[in-house]
Amino acid sequence: MTAAALPIHDYALLDDAECEARIAAAKAKLGKRCIILGHHYQRDEVFKHADIFGDSLKLSREAAQSEAEFIVFCGVHFMAEVADILSRPEQIAILPDMAAGCSMADMANKIKVQQCWDELAKIIDVENSVTPVTYINSAADLKAFCGQHGGIVCTSSNAEKILNWSFARREKVLFFPDQHLGRNTGYRMGIPLEQMVTWDFNKPQGGLTEQQIREAKIILWKGHCSVHQAFQPEQIDNFKAKHPETIVISHPEACFEVCEKSDFIGSTEMILKIVREAEANTRWLVATELNLVNRLAQECKAQGKSVHFMAPTLSMCSTMFRTDPQHLCWVLENLAAGHVVNQVAVPAEQAASAKQALDNMLLAS
């Protein structure tokens, strides 16, 4: 056993082939003590080393049920936080690169959300009339905020159930950080667009009038995913002009106009399911992250399905891309040598409140 943790700079210049061999060796040494989670948006060079893959909540729940001592999450920071919150006390959550964050999650922080809550309280009885709902793509302290105020967490697959749960308790919802998921879900539930207002956290009172706030059913945070922001309705029009038989499927993080032109709207897991189970020799235009679409396209070739990425330019999760084979190798070899690096540990009090919001979600969905 080495006296100190192996430094990351020793790994920076390793080529991917050497990393692959060393990752395999470290995995073999660790055995069932370690489980590697691969999110659908992860780059191929890392994704192939995952023991299980899927969306963030599915991965965290499966890891918590495993016998692994170490949970290495090849995703972004909020995902490793969820893994830590849901895992058993003896399990350790690790993020290969701590710089792997989420631009959407960063658009709503505790200070800004608390300020919004306080400003709303000057106009309405916020504690009794508003349910705070945070998308799972958010920091642990915002999940804790929801837990402390009778709120809840949602995912892209259960957002409608969560909004129904919320409205059964209070008349309004404050939905953050992704405005598009909230708007697309609310609209499909029959809520008029004019009853879904956008809170601009850079403006006093969110840039809204008191009347807009009083009449709103959903107050949407002005946040978005940079990947899904790349998809535009004219891309659908242009593609279908050449291939009118195309079936369009979009993630609900895409803007309202894109989702309105889509034949299907669904989470990453739903997109994979629908396209995989579709008839052979069909053509699909997909609005979600590039790595997922490329893998799906390759997988479906044998069935004669053509799967196309909607945006004409590359659009991948650049923060998740920070997790590379070199960082994964560094983490695993340190674990094999008896050192834990890049542990993600949510403070106990915050974790308890965040878990309450997550438990509400699991019960509601």
Summarize pLDDT for 291-311 with one digit per residue, the tens: 999 999 999 999 999 999 999
pTM score, whole prediction: 0.94
Examine the pLDDT at 321 and tell me if it is beyond 90.
no
- Name the maximum alpha-carbon separation found in the chain: 66
Q: CB neighbours of 227 closer than 8 A, spacing ≥ 6?
A: 41, 253, 288, 289, 290, 315, 316, 317
**What angle (nearest 5°) sits at the alpha carbon of residue 105, between those of residues 323 and 199?**
160
**Bridge partners, 219 (sequence order):** 174, 197
pLDDT in tens, 10-25: 999 999 999 999 999 9
Strands (E), the chain: 34-39, 52-54, 70-74, 92-94, 130-135, 152-154, 172-176, 196-199, 218-221, 247-250, 264-265, 283-287, 306-309
Amino acid of residue 257 = E
**Integer CA distances (angstroms), 7 to 48, 158, 313, 329, in order:** 24, 41, 36, 11
Residue 318: per-residue pLDDT:
78
Q: For 27-36, 271-280, 308-317, 323-332, which range has the lowest pLDDT when averaged over its residues?
A: 308-317
**Cα–Cα nearest to 267, from 64, 37, 56:** 56
Q: How far apart are CA 51 and CA 42, in angstroms?
A: 13
pLDDT at 3: 62
- Torsion sign, CA atoms 79, 251, 155, 66: negative
Quick one: pLDDT at residue 211? 98
| Mean pLDDT computed over 255-270 | 97
| Spatial separation of the C-alpha atoms in residues 78 and 102, rounded to whole Å | 8
Type of residue at 251: H
Mean pLDDT of 316-342: 93
CB 338, CB 1: distance < 8 Å: yes
**106 neighbors 222 (Cβ within 8 angstroms):** no
Residue 55 has pLDDT above 80, yes or no: yes
> H/E element holding 186?
helix 179-188
What pLDDT score was predicted for residue 1? 43
Residue 261 has pLDDT above 60, yes or no: yes
The residues near 83 (Cβ < 8 Å, ≥ 6 apart) are 37, 59, 60, 63, 64, 71, 73, 93, 344
pLDDT in tens, 98-154: 999 999 999 999 999 999 999 999 999 999 999 999 999 999 999 999 999 999 999
CA 272, 277, 280, 285 torsion: positive or negative?
A: negative
pLDDT tens-digit series, residues 142-200 = 999 999 999 999 999 999 999 999 999 999 999 999 999 999 999 999 999 999 999 99
Could you give the CA distance from residue 117 to residue 140 in angstroms, rounded to a whole number? 17
* pLDDT score, position 65: 97
74 — phi, psi (to 5°)?
-90, 80
Instruction: Report the percentage of the chain scoring pLDDT > 70.
Output: 99
Sign of torsion over alpha carbons 332, 91, 86, 100: negative
pLDDT of 336 > 70? The answer is yes
Is pLDDT above 80 for 329?
A: yes
Whether residue 285 has pLDDT greater than 80: yes
Residue 268 in this model has a pLDDT that exceeds 60: yes
> What average pLDDT is seen over the chain?
96
Other Cβ atoms within 10 Å of 362 Cβ, number = 14
Helix (H, G, I), strand (E, B) or coil at 52: strand
Hey, how many other C-beta atoms are within 10 angstroms of the C-beta on 207?
14
For residue 157, the model assigns a pLDDT of 95
What is the predicted pLDDT for the residue at 346?
98
* DSSP class per residue in 198-250: EE-TTSGGGG--HHHHHH-SEEEES---TTGGG--HHHHHHHHHH-TT-EEEE
